Every structure is written in structure tokens, then in C-alpha cells.
A and B are shown apart, each in its own frame.
Chain A
Amino acid sequence: MINDLRTMVWKEFKVQFRGQTKKTSYIRQLMAPIVLAGIFPITWGPEWVNEFPALIIAFITPAVIIGVMIPDSFAGERERHTLDTLLASRLSDRTILFGKIIVPLIVGWGAALVFTLISLVVVNLAHSENGVLLYTPTISAGIIFLSFLSASLLAGGGILTSLASSSTQEATQKLLTFILVPAMVVQITPLLFQDQISKTLNLLNGNQILIALGGILVITDMIIFILALKKFQRSEMYML
């Protein structure tokens, strides 16, 4: 299984990052996190290292990277007529599925860590009058774990939409819906339940909020991955 996964990852890296068009597309998509990592820490000041906004980069970067990579996973192979041959090989369903998830996940999460480090360098360059600034343990844990969990959520959701699409374009549109609808709900809910939410948040400290958020993401990730495992079965791919 591990060797097979390595093989899938090897192929996915080659296919994803080969070609000038692909590289240009990634660079264009990364402009938003690059600007955020460069500007936010300067405007926020030294408090950047112990405030929750530092987590914004850790959430946005994987979304941007995975949003570009994951729709191509199954829908792209289907579109380019390479999926049939892959399914006719000896690789197991799980190997193919996880091979497709791992690469966007690693790249998205890795980029999130790199950009939060860049923003740390920027805040130090701009506001390090009182010595070196470092992220607090809570923010560091948030960056490392929450960015991984949110990247997993997007990768899992992206795989589900890609599995259910016949083209990369269709998969991209479905993924946008997958991202935007919950984002709208998250934005509207505080307006509707402002009092209850502020009361609850007042009862919790920063660590507890992160743990609660992490817990919700872990459960959601598990549900998404179970759905993806159920959805991706060879015999299901050939139903008329």
C-alpha cells in the first residue's frame, strides 16, 4: 500500500506541475496569499503573532492551492480518458483515492506553513523593535493543526465533487459551491445568533476555541472521507 501510494504521489506531482500553463495558473492563484502574508502583518503590528487573524493565511492558502488542484483529480483523468486505464491496473481503490488526495493536501498545507512563516518574517522586519517576535503556542498549534484539518476538508470535498463531475470545469464549479455555501452560512449565522455566540465565546479561552474548532473539523473530515471511500468504487464508475 505504501509503495503504491508513493507511485501515485510520484505521478500526481509530475502531472500537476508539468507544463507552463499549470505553473502560471498556480502562481496567479497564489497572489492573494502572497499579498496577505506581506501586508497583513505590517498593518496589524506586533500583535500579529498572538492574534487569531494570523490564522487567516493558514486557512486561505490551502483553499487557493487545493481549489486549483483537486477538481482535476478524477474529473481531469476522466476528461483526458486516462481514468479507465488506471482503473484497469492492479492499484486498489483506496490507493488511487488517497493518492489523489495526498498531493493537493501536502502542497496546500505546506504552502500554508510557508506563508505563515513568511508573514512572521515580515512582521519581524516591520515591528521587531523589542526583539524577535514568535507566534504564541496557541497560534502555532492553530496554524499547524487547523490548516491541516481545513486542507483535508477541502481535499476531501474536492475529491467528492471531482468524482461526481465529468469535466474539470464542472468540478471547479461544484467545489466553489462546496466552499461558498458553508462560508455564507458561517458569515450569516453570527448575525442571527449574535448574543448566544458571544455568550458562548466569552465562556471559552483561545485554546478552548481552537480545540472546539479542531474537533468540528476532525468530525467533518471523517464524514467527508467516509463518503469519498463509499463513492469511489470501481464498479460505481461504470454505471450507465
Chain B
Amino acid sequence: MKSITSQSLAIQTSAMSRSFGSLTAVDHLSLEVQSGTIFGFLGPNGAGKTTTIRLLLGLLSPSSGQSKVLGFDTRTQADMIRAQTGALLEHSGIYERLSAEDNLEFYGRIYRMSASERKNRIKELLTQMDLWKRQNELAGKWSRGMKQRLALARALLHKPKLVFLDEPTAGLDVISAAEIRKYLQIMAEQENITVFLTTHNMAEVEEICSQVAVIKNGKLIAKGSPQELRSRKNGQRIVIEGSGFSEDLITRINQRPEIHLIQQESDQLVLEPYDRSGRSDLVSWLVQQGVQIDEVRHESESLEDAFINLMEERND
């Protein structure tokens, strides 16, 4: 492991694995998460995302490999990790028989905040989350979106250096999800915290994550910025609108070595070349073949397409 005490890394794992009997939930996972960033951790259901979070929180020990969070070993210094991190896990974890304020009061006491510190911070967060006026209501009577906002406030209460958020916007309506994202961005910017976020929402990842990693069956299959992921396999599509796309022409395009994928929809042809070079040659060649071209557009692959492609590749 290189420079494991590096202050710039909030999370560093090296070949971290965790097995339950014959099932390997996390398989030689090597990750580096820079401090102060929002890191997206993606994967299909059952890929090992939640187990990874549990490993990073020291709730489980790795079967093999090493992992450090905020410079602390997850095996031997889990208490230190949990003292300096916040978590919003799969479920909100809100006590429904307690008021919103009491929910935060409890965790404020757990994190040994002084009474005045707790009072000010609870007011600050509930105001930011637009919940202050309902502070004394029982949380059990609230909507899912409100509970998630309260849970986010709880995760951020003690000003942790790192927060783990396991699908924080899952099951929320569009407006509630957008609010959570907004609060998340504000918190990350204002308080310079690192966010380790798992989500199935690719638009969310593109909007707020600076780095992402994708896992499947516990194995890391890709990492980089969302842009890098999108352009992983050049990620560009050429959309040609016009006429003259005969079957014979399609066959001949398919025979061209630079073309990876071809789709025809009435007067539109979508081509995916293997690389970015030779696009103008291709258009010239099409004109020579008698194609009447009205418009040529270059489109990027969406992150969702890139993610689906990644999953399919690994199935091949």
C-alpha cells in the first residue's frame, strides 16, 4: 500500500475481501477516495456495496487485504473510525417514537457534543433541512422524504470528516431527492466533508460525484470520473440524419473495421466507432456511397448506458 497515512486520502483499501462461507461478498477491492470529494460507489443489487460500507465502518472485519479509513485501520481502530464518521445506511434509522429533536439529541450525546453545541447544531441543521418548525413532532408521523432529511442531519450532526450514505434518495419523490442532493452538495462544500455515496441513480452521480467506482459480484470493474466512465470505450456516437440508408449500405458499413455498433431508425443512422479518429473519413465515404446527409451529430454515451454496458460486458 502506498503512503497509507496520506492526509489526502479519506479511504484506502488494498485487495480487501470479505467472505461469508462460500460466498465472496467483496473480492480484492482496491479503492482510493480523496478527502473532500463526493465519491459514487455503484453496482447492481447484491454487488457488495453495503458489505463494503460495513467493512469500512469496521462493523465487519475483512477476510483478507487491508483497509484504512481516515488513516485508521478498520480491523484494529474501528472505534476511532466510527467516532469520526457519520452514516445514513440502507434505512433511515430514525426512532419513530422520538421527536425529530430527540433523535438528534440522542446522537449528539453519543458523539459527546456539549449541551450548547448540540442545541446550536440541531437548530442549524434542522433549519437547513427545512424541518425546524416541526422539531417537536414525532418522527414516525413524517413522510419518507422528511425522515431521510432528518437522517442526513443526524449523519452530519457531529461534523464528521466522512459520511457514508447508502442510497439516500432511494424511494423518494423527485423533489425530495433533489432536496437531499442539494443539502449534500451544500454540506460537502461548506464543511469540507468526504461523502461515500452508493446509489442507483446515474443522474445523481453525474450531478454530484467527482469520482466513481463500479463493482459487480464484489469486484471492482471500473473507476474514474463520471466523464471518464462515459468515455471509457470512446463513449461517442455519431448520429447521421438523412436518406439513402439501404440494406446493402448497412452491410457495407458493418464490414468497416472502425465501426463497433450500428443502429438504423428510418432516416437516422447511429454509429458507434471504436475510436474517435477517422470520423470525417466515414462521413465522406457515406457521401460517396450516395447517402443524402442532412445532419451529423456527435453524442456522448450517458452514464447509465456506460453502466449498463459495463454490466453486460462482465456477463459476457
Using a CB–CB cutoff of 8 Å, the interface residues on chain A facing chain B are: 3-4, 7, 10-11, 14-15, 18-19, 22, 80-82, 84-92, 234-235, 237-240
Contacts and interface: CB of A to CB of B under 8 A. Distances in A.
A18 B112 contact: no
Interface string B77-95: 0010011010111111111
A117 B302 CA distance: 74
Contact of B57 (A7, A80, A88, A240): A88
Interface string B41-70: 000000000000010011111000000000
Nearest to A83: B93
A15 B54 CA distance: 26
A85 B89 contact: yes
Contact of B97 (A19, A88, A89, A238): A19
A3 B113 CA distance: 12
A4 B110 contact: yes
B107 A89 contact: yes
B2 to A, nearest CB: 28
Interface residues of B, number: 37
A235 B61 contact: yes
Nearest to B78: A234
B217 to A, nearest CB: 15
B270 interface: no
A240 B21 contact: yes
B89 A88 contact: yes
B106 A7 contact: yes
B130 interface: no
Given A11-B95, A19-B97, A239 B20 contact: yes
A75 to B, nearest CB: 15
A90 B58 CA distance: 11
Contacts of B85: 88
Given A11-B106, A18-B98, A81 B91 contact: yes
Nearest to A85: B93
A11 B138 CA distance: 14
Nearest to B112: A3
B96 interface: yes
A15 to B, nearest CB: 5
B97 A14 contact: yes
B304 interface: no
A85 B79 contact: no
Contacts of B57: 88
5 contacts: A14-B102, A15-B97, A19-B97, A85-B89, A88-B57
A6 B215 CA distance: 41
B175 interface: no
B23 interface: yes
A10 B106 contact: yes
Contacts of A81: 90-93
